[in-house]
């Protein structure tokens, strides 16, 4: 028992250290003097939205991921398209699946009313993701802030900067490595799929058109595949048809994602592929056995992700409207 307590204490200490050893220009409590209610207001908006629709939490975590992996954590994913520019949010990787924009809008409007031109949209997205993890039962963590907002958003940038659900473990490992993450951190961040939903189009090939010799992915549990076929009928053309990523607890940040993979019930190819490599399979098993360990690793990985290619100091701008670059 004492050993287990020491382990948990060590894990929490590691999370604190990782939270502190960040980009020198990002700071925990960055708005302490300039807009002291910033994090409280964002959390209040996330909480209000969550009580209306629990699925928004997964949307906000995904929004942060899709922001940071394309041009860094600069809120470029929030910018609306114009007649002359197709923005990130309207790329096939983001539209119609990305959600939570209205939560960011509401938080920004409240912040502009009391701290005009102070809090960046990029920081709001980072705060909202943390609050979503916490609201769904994950481990809360300090978010270093001071990001500034980017001025460029191109749908074409998503093509090479967001991993598709068809990636295998080698492709995922290389992709995350290019972003500065270890293979273990890739497995850890994949656990975000423990909450939220997926459109049928993201995995229907595993049910009906897997390869030239078999229509159904043989690595997919047969009973689960049967359930998915009922929810996503072959030939269905409804682009809004969705299923939960983790049917047993779709709004709880727990280790259910890893338990599902061990039972051959990973929804995406990119989920189930984690069992095809000895090292990643071992991490899946470890995370499934020890939820607290995974939650701690996930918190640390989210802090690290939030530092990807950030704009600070005089870089970028502080948008007054998160959807539009300042004129």
Catalytic residue set: 66
Strands 242-244 and 197-199: antiparallel
Q: Return the structure tokens found at 290.
A: 């020890």
CB 254 within 8 A of CB 228: no
Residue 191: count of CB within 10 angstroms of its CB:
28
The CA distances from residue 157 to 72, 94, 305, in Å, are 11, 12, 18
Rounded to whole angstroms, the Cα distance separating 136 from 134 reads 5
With left for phi above 0 and alpha for psi between -120 and 50, is residue 29 left, alpha or beta?
A: left
Question: Whose CA is closest to 28, among 128, 143, 131?
Answer: 143
Q: Return the structure tokens found at 194.
A: 């423990």
Q: Bridge partners of 177? A: none
């Amino acid at each position: 028992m004492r050993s287990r307590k020491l382990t948990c204490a060590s894990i929490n200490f590691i999370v604190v250290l990782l939270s502190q050893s960040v980009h020198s220009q990002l700071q925990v409590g960055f708005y302490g003097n300039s807009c002291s209610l910033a994090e409280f207001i964002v959390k209040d908006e996330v909480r209000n939205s969550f009580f209306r629709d629990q699925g928004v939490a997964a949307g906000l975590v995904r929004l942060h991921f899709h922001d940071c992996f394309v041009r860094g954590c600069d809120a470029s994913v929030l910018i609306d398209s114009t007649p002359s520019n197709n923005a990130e949010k309207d790329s096939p990787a983001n539209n119609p699946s990305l959600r939570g924009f209205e939560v960011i809008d509401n938080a920004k409007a409240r912040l502009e009313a009391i701290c005009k031109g102070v809090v960046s949209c990029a920081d709001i997205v980072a705060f909202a993701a943390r609050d979503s993890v916490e609201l769904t039962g994950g481990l809360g963590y300090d978010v270093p802030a001071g990001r500034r907002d980017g001025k460029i958003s191109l749908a074409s940038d998503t093509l090479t900067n967001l991993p598709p659900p068809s990636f295998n473990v080698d492709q995922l490992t290389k992709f995350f490595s290019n972003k500065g993450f270890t293979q273990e951190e890739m497995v850890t961040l994949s656990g975000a799929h423990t909450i939220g939903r997926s459109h049928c189009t993201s995995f229907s090939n595993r049910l009906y058109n897997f390869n030239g010799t078999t229509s159904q992915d043989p690595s997919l549990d047969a009973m689960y595949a049967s359930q998915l076929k009922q929810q996503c009928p072959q030939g269905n053309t409804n682009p809004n048809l969705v299923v939960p990523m983790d049917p047993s607890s779709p709004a709880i940040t727990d280790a259910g994602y890893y338990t599902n993979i061990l039972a051959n019930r990973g929804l995406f190819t990119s989920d189930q592929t984690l069992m095809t490599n000895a090292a990643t399979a071992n991490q899946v098993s470890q995370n499934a056995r020890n939820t607290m360990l995974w939650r701690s690793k996930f918190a640390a990985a989210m802090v690290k992700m939030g530092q990807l290619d950030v704009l600070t100091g005089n870089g970028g701008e502080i948008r007054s409207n998160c959807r539009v670059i300042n004129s």
